[in-house]
Amino acid sequence: MLACELALAQVRVVVLERLTEVDTTIKAGAINTPSAEALYRRGLLPPLAEVQRAALETFGAFARQRQSAGASVPRPVPRFAGHFAGIMLRGDLLDEADPDFAGSGPAGEVGLIPQEALERILGARAAELGVTVRRGVTLTGFDAGDAGVRVHTSDGTLEAGWLVGCDGGRSTVRRLAGFPFPGTAPSITGHQALVEMTGADALGAGWNWTATGTYVHGPLPGRILTVEFDGPPADREAPVTAEELQTSLRRVTGVPDVTVTKVTSATRFTDNARQVPEYRRGRVLLAGDAAHVHAPFGGQGLNLGLGDAMNLGWKLAATVHGWAPEGLLDTYTAERHPIGAWVLAWTRAQVALMRPESHAAALREVVAELSGTTDATTYFVKKISGVWQRYDLPGSHPLTGRSAPDLELSDGSRLADHLHTGRGLLLDLADDPALRARAAGRGDRVRVVTAGCPERPGLTGLLVRPDGFVAWAADAGDGPGKELDAALERWFGAPAAVAAQAVPAP
């Protein structure tokens, strides 16, 4: 994702990936609203919609298969809206009129996107954008200086201006660069796998709490998840075997004769919750799990990484191109660290609630009862879906710092259509030459679009950053003034010389 963002901004980028093929291990099964919006803003909705359609078909097949075998099918949750520590949230209790849910446009229609499928979609896009992806190449070391980074790999050395460690929870880049990684120690052993098994009809469907842990069966045929609470895995590196999965499954479910006959995909996880305090050390940056690790409950990790990439991509590109205003790159940590810290806390809360002991069970009862209300359901769904996320940006308009609403414009386009190029966007919604004039000299960084917006007649102007977040907005009567000038300067730097404007924008 980051490589695509950089390439879109005309930065030469090389991805080193030690795996020779896309990782097919079953991990994330869904993306949240900010991720869907980000991908939509880059024109990737059609392949996502296709992946979701196939995923829904597979879920339906699982329910039918269990029904025909006479096994339990998860009690239909009216319009499933997510879960917290396995406590299901009901879509029919959700206050959909809450303003935080508005404005995603067609991005609101995709969510069920497995990680492997997303990686393939992004891989294809990277190829289209001309990114060099060197598979089967491992980063082994680097020397970072003031002017650049010399990167050592299993296949030679290369010179780069910048190095971003997107190399996962056990990041080599993080370790070698000496980033501190404070947080809380692991306490659980989890497994997630796609298996073939016999005796599975005796397993409960959906989330189940037992005296020895928590387990999930479904919603895909053969998908199991077990969580045990008596310490972290003894060996994180060893391959996950059928025997290990079966032992865990029998122990947690209490079903003595469930037998794993084949493992298609398996992963082991724990709840180590750590985060680097600063995402940058000189010319070395971190993004994704390399910057933060936590338990997978609640489906946040992949989304957090995509958000990091969207936030960092244009800022690093601006720095490479030399037009970044002072301090722009450091707003990456300032904006992304609080969201990462929230995810760590959110997953810790779920681990506490899932523990197989009476105090946690009692607390689960309380939370389950609360979650049967509209207020609590709406609270949880806002958190899980990511619609609560905003950046603390200077500016007085309520939209500032929020994901831009996908406005439908009078020329038939939508706001997201104008973000495909990865440039900033100044929407002149009141045909105001004075407003347009303020963006002069930044045509290579900010696209200016004049159109009406019947659904928001009061809104006269909107400045959207390349990552889709609102940097400035104005209502009728506000007028384009100092706040817009300050926002343009802060996010897009000083106007280029008039001569440079003759060069067509990419």
Ligand X SMILES: Cc1cc2nc3c(=O)[nH]c(=O)nc-3n(C[C@H](O)[C@H](O)[C@H](O)COP(=O)(O)OP(=O)(O)OC[C@H]3O[C@@H](n4cnc5c(N)ncnc54)[C@H](O)[C@@H]3O)c2cc1C
| Contact positions vs ligand X (CB under 6 A) | 16-19, 23, 27-30, 115, 138-139, 166-168, 172, 192, 267, 269, 288-290, 296, 299-303, 305
Q: Which is nearer to ligand X, 177 or 459 (CB)?
A: 177
Q: How far is the CB of 425 from ligand X (least distance, A)?
A: 27
Q: What whole-number distance in Å separates Cα of residue 173 and Cα of residue 14?
A: 15
Nearer to ligand X, 188 or 471 (CB): 188
CB of 110 to ligand X, least distance (A): 14
Output 59 or 323, the one with its CB closest to ligand X. 59
Q: Measured between alpha carbons, how far apart are the two ends of the chain, in Å?
A: 20
Give φ, ψ of 243 to 5 degrees.
-65, -45
Is 193:221 a contact under the CB 8 Å cutoff?
A: no
Q: C-beta of 378: minimal distance to ligand X in Å? A: 21
Helices (H), 269-423: 301-321, 331-354, 358-370, 374-385
- Select 19 or 185, whichever has its Cβ closest to ligand X: 19
Angle subtended at Cα 211 by Cα 206 and Cα 212, rounded to the nearest 5 degrees: 85
Beta strand pairing call for 213-217 and 292-293: unpaired
Q: What minimum distance in Å lies between the beta carbon of 18 and ligand X?
A: 4
> In angstroms, what is the minimal distance from the CB of 408 to ligand X?
29
CA-wise closest residue to 212 among 252, 167, 169, 168? 252
The token duo for 385 is: 């879906």
Strands ordered across the beta sheet of 149-153: 139-144, 149-153, 156-160
Judged by CB, which is closer to ligand X: 39, or 484? 39
Closest separation between CB of residue 241 and ligand X, Å? 16
The smaller minimum CB distance to ligand X, of residues 131 and 427, is found at 131
The answer to whether the Cα torsion of 73, 76, 81, 84 is positive or negative is negative
- Output the smallest distance, CB 140 to ligand X, in A: 7
Give the nearer residue to ligand X in terms of CB position, either 208 or 267: 267
Instruction: Scan for tokens 């300050």, then name that residue.
Output: 486
CB of residue 244 vs ligand X: minimum separation in angstroms?
14
Q: In what order do the strands lie in the sheet with 459-464?
A: 446-450, 424-428, 459-464, 470-475
Q: Which is nearer to ligand X, 171 or 378 (CB)?
A: 171
User: Are the CB atoms for 62 and 224 separated by under 8 Å?
Assistant: no
